[in-house]
Structure 1
């Protein structure tokens, strides 16, 4: 089984924020290819999704984004999932809005959710999809990522969610290298 983790913050106050774009991708997968119902376990909201012969577990940590590692570690341990069968989706302020970047492994790049996962797993050897939310024009990074997409950004954000859903299924069916070749175009 493969596990797909989307990073975000729990609670309606965070719905539609840049930090919760990972949750948005999983919700689309859960509603489109599953029954959309999450069960609360392992400090997360978990939904099993079956598409054709592929079965994945989508997981939204409910511990707030900066403490996501505990949920991820518990899920991997319980289901005995190898790092190569884990995919983490997170926002990235260093990528332009709408751009996605798929990586086979790597550091946290300043993202505290990835930092906590790295610390809890003791490794950076797991695939991830970084979802471009653009960078703030002001110095308040926390305010920016916790802010909602502006009306003129919504179309681009929704298209990115669709692209990320396609990237998840490409990773599930074809593996990380095919997925990277398909989705990692030049950054504009």
Structure 2
């Protein structure tokens, strides 16, 4: 079994904020699989599902973002999934929001640093490893016509409800996130990265990060 975790904050007031893109992606996966994420285990709301022909546990931690690692570690123990390492293939996929990526884009990484994301910091700290697959949903502001990037405003922006137009853009990316998970499960993370880490302005998607 694989563990697919979406990061966010519990509570209706946070439901449609940029920081809850991971939760929304899990809901989209659940919808595509015909399940409801409503069981409580490992400090999270969960659902067993068949995704791309494989058995997975979908999870939304209820620990709040900065303590996400406690839930992820508890679920890995319960499912007897080894902590991912350089020598142990990852059975963990984490989906979360990324300010450094413009809204409307999605990127996949096999491993990496937190880049200032508190949920990612918590997971890597508790697991003692950065060797886990992450699917990052862009929530940043797009560049201007001159190419200058617009900073999205940090915490206040991340915890504020998204506008209708922004939610429309995000809705399309959630389908991409679900397809990315499916491709990771069926074809491996390398092929998924080639498919979804599209080139931007002639450079590789990760070249500016």
| 1:148 equivalent in alignment to 2:146 | no
Aligned equivalent of 1:112? 118
Give, in whole Å, the separation in 2 of the partners of 1:113 and 1:92.
Answer: 11
- Deviation, structure 1 residue 70: 0.3
- Deviation, structure 1 residue 34: 3.0
The alignment yields a C-alpha RMSD, in angstroms, of 1.6
SS at match of 1:110: coil
Aligned equivalent of 1:131? 137
User: Any unmatched runs of 5+ in structure 2?
Assistant: 85-89, 142-148, 202-209
Aligned equivalent of 1:10? 10
Give, in whole Å, the separation in 1 of the partners of 2:105 and 2:49.
Answer: 25
Larger radius of gyration: 2
Q: 1:184 aligns with which of 197, 201, 204?
A: 197
| 1:158 equivalent in alignment to 2:171 | yes
Which of 144-153 and 89-98 deviates more?
144-153
Q: 2:127 aligns with which of 121, 124, 144?
A: 121
Aligned equivalent of 1:169? 182
Aligned equivalent of 1:53? 53
Q: Which has the higher helix share?
A: 1
TM-score computed with the length of structure 2 as normaliser? 0.85
Which of 128-137 and 85-94 deviates more?
128-137
Deviations 1:144-168 (A, max 9, x none): 0001221221221111111001001
TM-score computed with the length of structure 1 as normaliser? 0.94
- Deviation, structure 1 residue 44: 0.4
SS at match of 1:9: coil
Q: Is the 8 A contact 1:34 1:48 kept in 2?
A: no
1:54-69 equivalence runs, <5 A: 54-69=54-69
Aligned residues: 188
Q: Is the 8 A contact 1:99 1:187 kept in 2?
A: no
Moved over 2 A (4+): 135-140
Deviations 1:94-126 (A, max 9, x none): 000011110000010110000000000000000
Give, in whole Å, the separation in 2 of the partners of 1:132 and 1:140.
Answer: 14
